[in-house]
Structure 1
């Protein structure tokens, strides 16, 4: 049992986006398979869940960040330490779409314009009759930043699992490339990551 556990990699995934786009709802839908109707705006929540994707187990550390302007410094911290990002906007909010573009740029700057796994998510697809951001606009934004694009609904679960799994695959692909190019640096990164994480989190079994 100990040997199997040691082989399970942990991926630090940051959920990021403007306020009221459904970041917490997406996270809870993915982790617990339910929709939360009423919730307080998040400052920061952290969860851990062991899952299996493509027959390979992994531990996800999912950080659900605040979208409100007053918590920008907290969000910026997690942009710096995040391994991969689920960047969320709402199809019924033009402002959140603009914020998504700004966040793509913020991630690129924080990572010194190096490759980083990002999946662009247009949430609230169940409210298509209220849509203010077209699918074409979302796809164009994602393509500009070489990002996968999904339209999701935290309410009915559409494409929620798919966008998380796609992000994990991107992390794995990038790690495989980096391991081949810089095997010694990659080992050191894993050691650093073990000591980097601070604070409590909720483990979802």
Structure 2
């Protein structure tokens, strides 16, 4: 594995752990706990993302990474629906076979922070998709795929991706999404494709969580209207 890949992995891990020092430092400067977590997360991930992209600049300029824009957009959109379908299947398996709750503690924790400090939304919508796709698809999946085969590369990278979210109740859902992202990367030969799909998927989750009550009320109203029309 190229040395710059190791640098990128170190940057990513350091950024993940930097909040242990960064958030308390901001709190000492007068920030509230939630605001400190949000501001430090955005600050640290902004630096990490720029640094990682600079290290990857030579590869991103290669012909294999310069897929046609139309192809990238098309597969990114198709990939969103494919990921959504895969996650729904995984969710049903978790619920019916393992009696898992459909609620995600990891997602709820992130949304609790975002509700109190809206700038934090940039983390799941922008920075997480970029950094995670670089780490888990470009580096881990890509390195294994070059030496072995697609199946092994998908299993290892998707398990790592799922485990790194520390939401083990929904391990299968994250694994399903990771597998789709890997497929998109291979299909288009561009890391930009799974990054966009990942962004769309996370954005949908954020919007659904933010307007959860409104959506539930709407669904109840629609159910009442439909039942009234039938009976």
TM-score by length of 2: 0.28
The structure with the largest strand share of the pair is 1
Higher CA-based Rg: 2
The structure with the largest helix share of the pair is 2
